[in-house]
Structure 1
Amino acid sequence: MSASGTTMLMRILTTAALYAATNAIPAQQPSFADTVFHNGSIYTLDAYSSKVEALAIKDGVITFVGSNEDAKVRIGNTTQVVNLQGHAAIPGLIDSHMHILGGGIYLLKCDLNYQPLDLPGVLQHIQRCIDDEPDKPDDAWMEAVNVDYSTLTSRSGSVDKTSIDVLKTKRPVVVRSSDYHTILVNSRALEISNITAATPNPSNGVIERLPGSQEPSGVLEDNASDLLGIPLPSPEEAVKAALAAMQLLRQSGITTFQEAMALKEYDQVFQAVQQGGGLSARAFFDYRIDAPSSVAEVPDLVAKTVELIRGFDNNSTMQPAPSLKWQAVKAFLDGVITYPARTAALIEPYWSLVNGSNTTWAPDPSTLKKTYWEPEILARTLSGFFLAGIDAQLHADGDLAVRVGLDAAESFRKAHPGHDFRLGLAHDELSHQDDWRRFKELEVDAIMSFQWSQLAPSYLPNTFPSLAEYRRQNLQAYAEIEKAGRPVTYGSDWPVDPLDEFLALKIAVTRSGDPGNPHSSASQGAPYNGTFPGEGISREAALRAITINGAKFLRADKYIGSLEVGKFADLIVLENDYFTVPEEMIGRQRVQLTMVGGEVVYIAKEADQKFGNITAKYPNDDEASVALDRKAIGGLDRKQVSMKGAVNAARLRKRNECVHH
């Protein structure tokens, strides 16, 4: 045998020995498990990528992974035995970049879900939402969101306040277009907001008027919507929004999330959720900070923020039950690369159309922008937080913002070699090839939204030429960052995009959308059914980005992220085997069961009784769940829609601005 062959054999034998030692049945009779999963394809995502048949849980902790036969001795009279019937189980998903409360608030609205409706169809759904709230007072706002405004007007002609004044209600009604630019309100909403013929148009906004007069028509464009007297969500509404988000996370298989832009009010909201028994996922919060105007202001910013974060976080050790952790800050370095916004900071200029041409693009120096943070201020601020034991996540969309973030990490590494910190650069839509290796060298994490590497209205027709062809291979370069030695981490950025983690994983692998998934632009055909520039990554690498890699970024990989003895039992059971289905099927996945800390928190309706007599902590048919399903056309998970409506949803969904800045 060659030297290389001997080395490989020794590695295999060593790996086998280590795995056997970890999972060996001790000589004494083991204690009986609370739960045993068997007859499954259980992908552990441990260091050896082990696949096993069975898994045992005691007190919320995994006590055994291995074969069906060896699991039998763990089964006692009170053990809940779950027959997976060949289904795949994987670690619970960890989404490292979400906006959980904002997404939850939209779940509470009357959602038209981008459906191609005429005026009677729009009014019918809104009226149902109104009728479902008979006890609401006359001054309580009814907000309907995600209306397909172009289809509404093409089918029913122009609309104004009289179009929705016919609703049987005295309440102010707001109908928000899915493009975020147009709002339609009834007469009551204009009255409460004191928007009259004498009200001038605000900056960057238009109050449309009825023909031949100055009377507001009820159609408000862009910043004119700021004139509406809609109150901010009350603390009680915020708690309801968080609970609604928890339900969607359970259905999606998300067992841990990071809120990437938390405000101090979030602590009170989620404390109430936890104390009320509604926290069904592990919660991590990044506290939002803004750039100080000078270096002299940095120490005060750091000191006050550290005090606030430490006041929110109890610094306790993680337990099987979900908890709240505050350990990081969030800052924006720039905006977005997409046309026409182009607010992301780039190393070289965007390209613009030349002299009014419709086809000729050339570099436009006027588009160069600085990052929102001066590099020196950023470096000193991060240094203060890292030395205080506070980690950071930075919004960095353009290649200059990515570089400035990496430069700040390099500055700290040189000044404090060996110091342990976590820095995540979120999105990295455009990065420079000279910086890919620096993620590994500086131990910085790229937190990327894989679903953005599909052809979509956000890129076609104008964003691609605006970036110029020579930079297209640098878009969504997660494969290049991984090849340079630093595995990436996943963050959905929900609700900027629909919450569809498995579609994102499919796109990570193939760099193409899914014509059969309504959340993908490919469902509308050309020109979005092609392949995005650049390379994809393996299925395992993609799944690790949303499990163990996220756990490492959150400093929680000792407890979660893989299915190993001693870790918490956070796992999900899938409808189809992620690792064996054809590529085109990766994104057409439904979670059948979600478990957090050994407790089943969700069972899909179609899986009820499939795996035995299991009861989920949170039922699908309680009053709150039914109410959420009724608010949205297509239900809470938005999957109960016709394909025509689904295609329309994908067509309308554009990401032209960062809605969080």
Structure 2
Amino acid sequence: MAQIFAEKIYINGTVFTADKENNIHTAVAFAAGKVLKTGNNEEVLTLQNDHSEVIDLQGKMLMPGIIDSHLHPFWGGLQRASCNLNYASLTVADTLAFVQKHIDQDTTRTSDTDWLQVRAFLRQEVLPLGTDITRRDLDTLNTKRPVILFANDCHTLVANSRALELFGIDENTPTPVDGTIRRFPDGTLNGIMEDAPAMRAFDSIPVLDAKSAIVVAEDVQQLLNSQGVTTVMDARALPLQFDAFTTLKEEDRLTIRLLGAREITPDNSPTVADVPAAVATMMQFAEKYTDKSWSEKPGIFIQHAKFFVDGVMQCPINTAALLAPYRENLGSKEAPNWQPSNNKGDLYYPNELLTALISAVSEKGFHPHMHTVADGAIEVTLDAIEVMRNKLPGKDIRPSLAHNELTSPHQFARFKALKVMPCLSYQWAGYSQAFSDEMRDVLGEDRFDNLEPAGKFYDAGVRVAFGSDWPIDPLNEWYDFKVALTRKGAEDAPRLNTDRNLTFDEVLRSATIEAAYMIDADKYVGSLEPGKFADYIILDRDIFKNDPADIENVKVLKTFVGGKEVYTA
């Protein structure tokens, strides 16, 4: 066989491979969009010929590209192009003033069909804490336009009266099984929708044509590439964004590998008898967008089914499903008396239906990917996966549970036994003091100690994947890694002492090879091993030689996908 020589060789660096042994080398060679060899300088330079480009890293770090295995990239892109509150803690009056200023400046859109989306709204921190903005507040704005506030958690939408009218929602609209349409005490709508109704309403807003969607998609992939991201899984695949990214692919302008999870809602399958039809519809969507094979050029694949099992823990929503009830204050603010309430949160699928759906998509070769915030949702989902494992012994199905903010101690062993991967957003452990106090109050001291586990999963022998869940938070992958390494957000914030710090190896593997495994892409990407695609990034420093808190200051110098440079600082 003829000798294959390298097209590009890097020497004198820190090359983190993310292979099984976490090998770190000084050199790596690439050819034809794939990894050719890793090793020391002398070993790799044997692959040099007259056409090889040799690059001296001068001690800088080279590693696999970041794989973000749970986020909502198109939602994030829309947020960047909208009226954006930027996650600020504001009073009702200040929020309304901000929105009114935007309305006054946007003189091209004034009709009662010109939607205004206000994004990155931090509902749980409206000042004073616990105060909600409602339809009546938004109706005071001097505009005829339909106005919505879409919360940063993407689980809450607040609509003015005109927006509710266009949504077709009124006092006779029934509350769906997978969320809430809230009302004032007199029974009239207060404009607040939570969980699935909020997301469905947001998805129905006609804001972009196909051409504009492509612009958003381009902006999104450039932003991701600038942070070193080379592969993502969109956790709620919809036609608008996948059409846009498909156009970029067809024009050879796609710069991320895009995977997607297609949601099956309780409305899609109200009963177990409806499961086959719902799965068939999901498979048709997947077939439309999924490429026939992987190549060095980035492609599009839908290999996952999404199930939205519960809500969120944050007050005042408290829709994440718990094994035991949330606590409520029966006393006063000055003399609190926290006691168990009657609220355990919400489960959005009957157990029999969730079990049937998970088994059905798995039988068809799709990996079930679940939104499970708290231990009640985790428990019923693990039960359903156990049924699936018994039905399909030996089948390569990689179920994953996203979020797992409150995980009960007995559940870690179940994750391992059932080969289930938690997909964690590390930055959520960067609690503020106020949020920490709130969670301690509503959960109690014992359950508070189970919040935001990461090390506990590792210590139980569970494989862990990273997913930022952007735009729930600002897109800042390296800040997220800092929180994983330190359990602290801002410098002046308290450390969340409910778990140990992760190690560099654990964090980097969760965002490379382990994330690749979760999304069933580890044959192709996730580590720098011969034969895999040349998806890699170059950093401005060797992070292993720095303080863990310094990782948030890392600068990505270059990003490559399939050997092609897609970003340079």
TM interval, short-chain normalised: 0.7 to 0.9
Rate the CA distance shift 1:399–1:174 in 2: closer, same or farther, 3 A.
closer
* SS at 2:533 equivalent: coil
Query: Is the contact made by 2:7 and 2:53 (CA closer than 8 Å) also made in structure 1?
Result: yes
* SS at 1:352 equivalent: strand
The correspondence for 2:538, drawn from 555, 561, 573, is 573
Query: Is the contact made by 1:338 and 1:458 (CA closer than 8 Å) also made in structure 2?
Result: no
The correspondence for 1:451, drawn from 427, 436, 449, is 427
The correspondence for 1:303, drawn from 277, 280, 297, is 280
Quote how far apart the aligned CAs of 1:340 are.
1.9
**Which aligned pairs between 1:32-47 and structure 2 lie closer than 5 A?**
32-47=5-20
* SS at 1:257 equivalent: strand
Query: Is the contact made by 2:159 and 2:192 (CA closer than 8 Å) also made in structure 1?
Result: no
1:312 and 2:277 are equivalent in the alignment = no
Residue in 1 that maps onto 2:246: 271
The correspondence for 2:237, drawn from 259, 262, 273, is 262
Query: Is the contact made by 1:353 and 1:359 (CA closer than 8 Å) also made in structure 2?
Result: no
Residue identity in the other structure for 1:468: G
Give CA deviations for 1:135-179 in whole Å, capped at 9, x if unaligned: x787676767558999999xxxxxx99x998xxxx9979796987
Residue in 2 that maps onto 1:534: 499
- Rounded Cα–Cα distance in structure 2 between residues aligned with 1:130 and 1:80: 51
The correspondence for 1:59, drawn from 23, 32, 51, is 32
1:420 and 2:393 are equivalent in the alignment = no
* SS at 2:386 equivalent: helix
Query: Is the contact made by 2:146 and 2:162 (CA closer than 8 Å) also made in structure 1?
Result: no
Quote how far apart the aligned CAs of 1:125 are.
9.9
Give CA deviations for 1:489-509 in whole Å, capped at 9, x if unaligned: 111100001111111112112
Residue in 1 that maps onto 2:263: 288
Rate the CA distance shift 1:177–1:549 in 2: closer, same or farther, 3 A.
closer
Residue identity in the other structure for 1:280: T
Give CA deviations for 1:304-351 in whole Å, capped at 9, x if unaligned: 32233234324x231111000011110111001122211011111111
The correspondence for 2:22, drawn from 26, 30, 49, is 49
Residue identity in the other structure for 2:297: A
Residue in 2 that maps onto 1:252: 227
* SS at 1:459 equivalent: helix
Query: Is the contact made by 1:339 and 1:459 (CA closer than 8 Å) also made in structure 2?
Result: no
**Which aligned pairs between 1:427-576 and structure 2 lie closer than 5 A?**
427-456=403-432, 459-515=435-491, 525=492, 528-576=493-541
Q: TM-score, normalised by structure 2?
A: 0.82
Rate the CA distance shift 1:137–1:493 in 2: closer, same or farther, 3 A.
closer
- Rounded Cα–Cα distance in structure 1 between residues aligned with 2:477 and 2:541: 14
Quote how far apart the aligned CAs of 1:233 are.
2.1
Residue in 1 that maps onto 2:555: 590
Quote how far apart the aligned CAs of 1:295 are.
1.8
Rate the CA distance shift 1:501–1:66 in 2: closer, same or farther, 3 A.
same
Give CA deviations for 1:72-129 in whole Å, capped at 9, x if unaligned: 343344433332221111110001100011111112235564679999x979996999
Rate the CA distance shift 1:122–1:64 in 2: closer, same or farther, 3 A.
same
- Rounded Cα–Cα distance in structure 1 between residues aligned with 2:158 and 2:392: 52
Query: Is the contact made by 2:318 and 2:345 (CA closer than 8 Å) also made in structure 1?
Result: no
Residue in 2 that maps onto 1:31: 4
Query: Is the contact made by 2:331 and 2:338 (CA closer than 8 Å) also made in structure 1?
Result: no
Quote how far apart the aligned CAs of 1:222 are.
5.1
Query: Is the contact made by 2:286 and 2:301 (CA closer than 8 Å) also made in structure 1?
Result: no
Query: Is the contact made by 1:396 and 1:425 (CA closer than 8 Å) also made in structure 2?
Result: yes
Residue identity in the other structure for 2:231: T
Residue in 1 that maps onto 2:379: 403
Query: Is the contact made by 2:29 and 2:37 (CA closer than 8 Å) also made in structure 1?
Result: yes
Quote how far apart the aligned CAs of 1:370 are.
4.6
Quote how far apart the aligned CAs of 1:439 are.
0.9
In structure 2, list runs of 5 or more residues that go unmatched.
129-136, 174-180, 185-189
Give CA deviations for 1:35-60 in whole Å, capped at 9, x if unaligned: 22222111111112111111111110
Query: Is the contact made by 2:144 and 2:162 (CA closer than 8 Å) also made in structure 1?
Result: no
Residue identity in the other structure for 1:61: K
Query: Is the contact made by 2:486 and 2:495 (CA closer than 8 Å) also made in structure 1?
Result: no
- Rounded Cα–Cα distance in structure 2 between residues aligned with 1:300 and 1:146: 36
Residue in 2 that maps onto 1:105: 78
Query: Is the contact made by 2:59 and 2:542 (CA closer than 8 Å) also made in structure 1?
Result: no
The correspondence for 2:59, drawn from 86, 92, 99, is 86
**Which aligned pairs between 1:226-241 and structure 2 lie closer than 5 A?**
231-241=206-216
Query: Is the contact made by 2:321 and 2:345 (CA closer than 8 Å) also made in structure 1?
Result: yes
Rate the CA distance shift 1:355–1:423 in 2: closer, same or farther, 3 A.
same
Quote how far apart the aligned CAs of 1:595 are.
0.7
* SS at 1:64 equivalent: strand
Quote how far apart the aligned CAs of 1:368 are.
2.0
Give CA deviations for 1:211-252 in whole Å, capped at 9, x if unaligned: xxxxxxxxx9757x989x974322222222211110110111
Aligned residues: 528
Bigger shift: residues 399-408 or 265-274: 265-274
Query: Is the contact made by 2:370 and 2:402 (CA closer than 8 Å) also made in structure 1?
Result: yes
Query: Is the contact made by 1:274 and 1:323 (CA closer than 8 Å) also made in structure 2?
Result: yes
Rate the CA distance shift 1:424–1:240 in 2: closer, same or farther, 3 A.
same
Query: Is the contact made by 1:100 and 1:259 (CA closer than 8 Å) also made in structure 2?
Result: yes
Bigger shift: residues 485-494 or 504-513: 504-513
Residue in 2 that maps onto 1:387: 363
* SS at 1:105 equivalent: helix
Query: Is the contact made by 1:514 and 1:587 (CA closer than 8 Å) also made in structure 2?
Result: no
Quote how far apart the aligned CAs of 1:476 are.
1.5
Rate the CA distance shift 1:275–1:455 in 2: closer, same or farther, 3 A.
same
Residue in 1 that maps onto 2:354: 378
Query: Is the contact made by 1:145 and 1:177 (CA closer than 8 Å) also made in structure 2?
Result: yes
- Rounded Cα–Cα distance in structure 2 between residues aligned with 1:575 and 1:482: 29
Quote how far apart the aligned CAs of 1:263 are.
2.1
- Rounded Cα–Cα distance in structure 2 between residues aligned with 1:191 and 1:299: 38
Rate the CA distance shift 1:178–1:302 in 2: closer, same or farther, 3 A.
closer
* SS at 2:435 equivalent: coil
* SS at 1:509 equivalent: helix
- Rounded Cα–Cα distance in structure 2 between residues aligned with 1:591 and 1:530: 27
* SS at 1:86 equivalent: coil
